[in-house]
Every structure is written in C-alpha cells, then in structure tokens.
Structure 1
Amino acid sequence: MATLDIDLVLAPVDGSDESQQAVEYAIAIAEEYDATVHAVYVLGEDVARGIETGAVDESTVATDTESFTEAIFDRADGTGVSVTTSIAYGFSTKVKTTHPGSVILDTAEEVDADFLVVPREPVSGDPGEVLEKAAEYVLLYASQPVLSV
C-alpha cells in the first residue's frame, strides 16, 4: 500500500464559509502528516478589475483579506501546524488565461504543494465567492492529490 508524502498542503480561499471549511480540512491533513499549510486568498473578478482601474482601494482589500487570514492562523494555533499565506488575482484584464483554477494550480507549483484542499461551492453568483467554479478545473488538471470539500 502506497503512503502519501505530504510536506505542504495548499488551501485556496476567498473569504466564504466554504473556504473556511477547506482550511479546517487542510489543517487537519497537515497535522496528520506533520506538514505545513499555505492558504492563498484568491481575489475575485470585481475586486481585481476595481484595483486595476483604481475604483477599489488596495489597502481596503488588504485589510479585508488580512482579517480572514488571521482567522486561519487562529484555527491552526495549538495544532503545531505552521501556516503561510499569500494573495493572488483570480482574474486579469490583460492575461486571458488567468482564472481562479489556473491561479490555484500555478500557486501549487510555486509553493511546491503536495496536496490541495479546494472548496467546492454551489454556484450562487455571489461576487465574493471566487472559487465556486475553480474546484472542477483543479480536480481535472492538478498533478497533486486533491480533496474537494
């Protein structure tokens, strides 16, 4: 029987309840395998476009994402799991192939993730829920094992 060798678990998040749940699973997996967690906050299309055009203040976005990522650190506190975070644009007006799924896979390669935990959200149309369509893409194209929650 083959065993998994997991050093880093990637959890893409977007501030939704579903992504909070994905982080909880990522921390549990990391705890089991003595691994670390990297949470990448994927910014939605409206936010990305707003920042590019100057309609959205970057410092406001940073504050909003910081409060969510602080909650991730709080969840991991006491588990012995080390957590790192980053922020990525889930969309681009300049690069057509940039979308949440590709951003997740690119981040997984950049941080050398061994395992991915992606929220599989219902398509609700809420502009803040960036990852709702990315899970299927990640499941199809990831080279790492993926848990979709």
Structure 2
Amino acid sequence: MKISIGADHGGYRLKEVLVPIIQSLGHEVQDVGCSCDQSVDYPDYALPVCEAVVKGEADRGILICGTGIGMSIAANKVQGIRCALVQDTFSAKATRDHNDTNVLALGERVLGFGIAEEIVRIWLETPFSNGERHVGRINKVMNIEKQVSNRV
C-alpha cells in the first residue's frame, strides 16, 4: 500500500520513527511533512494527506500531532475521509474491521513510541470485515456527509 503521512511540530518525532517502520512492513510512504519541530499548523498537513487518500494517490493516511485531536478533526472535514484517533491496539483493529477507516490519527504527547508502532502495524494489517451491518453503518455515515454538504 501507499501510505501518506503528515505531522505538525507536536508529532514530528513520532513521524520520523514511524516512516521506516511502515517501509519495513512493505509499504511505500509519501511524507508530506513537517520536517522539523518548529511550530506549524496541523491543518496544513492534514489536508494534503487526506487529499491524497480521496484522490486515490494514497491508499491510507496517517496524521500525527501532539494529541491527535486537531488532526482528526481537520481530517474528518474532508469529504470521503473516515479518520479515527486511536490510542490503543483494540481500537486500531476495530476501527479498520468495523469502520473501514482510511486515515489514522495519533498523538505523540499521549502515546509511547512502542505502542504507536504497534497501533500502526495493526491498523495497516487489519482488513475491513465487509460485513453487511458494518457496510450499512458506513453508508449511513457517508450519507450524513453528503446531506450536510448539500445544505451548505
């Protein structure tokens, strides 16, 4: 898979740790930045990652900031993105298995690097179950997105 990854200054160090791990799992990485720990704005990195996913230029995306909260909020503003903020391995598996998430948000300041690596590995390796009940629920969520965008 091709994975687009982006981080602000609060997630820069974790991004630098995760990129080679993702590559070692056999995935191609598109790193959209940032490339230092100087203060930057997380939406500037969330958008290019999410655009790559919705345009099919990347199969999935990973976003990292201090808590993961800002990145997940920004990501979920992009039509077609299903981003989950994950802080444990159970949620990493469930969000792929049940929700078919296409973007993962992580918080460097709330996760140890070891658990973050495990979350990413599980999230990348877990397929969507494609069960009827899950597909129906995802379709309902996507319909909400369409309804809201048509009202604006």
TM beyond 0.5: no
Structure scoring higher RCO (CA < 8 A, sep ≥ 6) equals 1
Q: Structure 1 length as normaliser, TM-score?
A: 0.37
